């Protein structure tokens, strides 16, 4: 069964600190992996998208890594800000000839405290 | 102001009543999607449409219906047959339904059925 597992479930850090969120997946065939940020009560917003051949991709203070061999990804947030408080969702796109099937993780809820 | 709009933001209904959630996009995207989000779970696909006048069931289509009469509109009806309709509903669209196409999400509608 295609699954995306994220850890930790929730995380509290102090403003200015770094943190790393984890994502393990069993989706096959694999097409690409995305990280989304979802503020409470809002729709998810894309942070990064990585294909099989990409090991790392950055978007400002967000850096995503991908190890396609071990089927693991991480999202590293540098110098956290209060506005980083949100749910971070790992999404894997299942490779299909037609259509685009996304498998969503349950998300990691991050709270940044001052 | 381009993007995806969903209305209303909050919706309350009595059990046994059908309710229709609105989703409109002005991005000129061909593909549109409806997802359901429950606490502690990943987003689950209800229905998707790759082109006008065509739509396909997702993973949890039972108790839901959709129509796609116009490119910019993809309304979702939650029927009385849906056993547990209280949830956060998200609409999304993408240029096409290809594996690498970015999905853009609307702000969501929170439906509460009592």
| Whole-number pLDDT of residue B109 | 97
A14 CB contacts (<8 Å, ≥6 apart)? A80, A112, A113, A114
The 10s digit of each residue's pLDDT in A77-104 is 999 999 999 999 999 998 776 666 899 9
The 10s digit of each residue's pLDDT in B8-61 is 999 999 999 999 999 999 999 999 999 999 998 999 999 999 999 999 999 999
CA A10/CA A8 separation, integer angstroms = 5
A45 close contact with B: CB closer than 8 A: yes
In eight-state DSSP terms, residue B73 is B
Question: How many other β-carbons are positioned within 10 Å of the β-carbon of residue B68?
Answer: 19
Tell me the pLDDT of chain B averaged across its residues: 93
Residues A107, A89: contact at Cβ < 8 Å?
yes
Minimal Cα distance from A93: which residue of B?
Answer: B99
CA A104/CA B88 separation, integer angstroms = 15
Residues A25, A6: contact at Cβ < 8 Å?
no
Q: Comparing C-alpha atoms, which of A19, A16, A20, A21 is closest to residue A5?
A: A21
What is Dmax (Cα atoms) for chain B? 40
**Hey, are the CB atoms on A102 and B44 less than 8 Å from each other?**
no
Q: Which residues of chain A have pLDDT under 50?
A: none
Question: Which of A43, A93, A106 lies closest to B107 in CB terms?
Answer: A43
When pLDDT is averaged across residues B94-100 and rounded to a whole number, the result is 82
Burial class (CB in 10 A: 0-12, 13-18, 19+), B87: buried
Return the structure tokens found at A53. 């051949």
A-chain CB neighbours of B43 within 8 Å are 44, 89, 102, 104
A62 close contact with B: CB closer than 8 A: no
């Amino acid at each position: 069964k295609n699954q995306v597992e994220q850890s930790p479930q929730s995380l509290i850090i102090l403003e200015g600190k770094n943190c790393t969120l984890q994502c393990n997946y069993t989706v096959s065939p694999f097409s690409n992996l995305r990280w989304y940020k979802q503020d409470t009560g809002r729709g998810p917003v894309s942070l990064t998208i990585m294909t099989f051949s990409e090991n790392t991709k950055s978007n400002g203070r967000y850096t995503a890594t991908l190890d396609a061999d071990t089927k693991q990804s991480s999202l590293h947030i540098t110098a956290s800000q209060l506005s980083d408080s949100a749910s971070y969702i790992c999404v894997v796109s299942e490779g299909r000839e037609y259509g685009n099937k996304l498998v969503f993780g349950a998300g990691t809820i991050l709270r940044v405290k001052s | 102001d381009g993007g995806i709009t969903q209305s209303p933001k909050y919706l309350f209904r009595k059990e046994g009543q059908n309710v229709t959630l609105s989703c409109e996009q002005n991005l000129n995207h061909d593909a549109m999607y409806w997802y359901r989000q429950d606490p502690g779970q990943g987003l689950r696909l209800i229905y998707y449409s790759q082109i006008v006048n065509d739509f396909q069931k997702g993973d949890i289509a039972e108790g839901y219906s959709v129509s796609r009469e116009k490119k910019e509109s993809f309304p979702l009806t939650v029927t009385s047959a849906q056993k547990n309709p209280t949830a956060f509903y998200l609409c999304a669209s993408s240029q096409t339904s290809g594996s690498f196409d970015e999905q853009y999400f609307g702000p969501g509608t929170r439906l509460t059925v009592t």
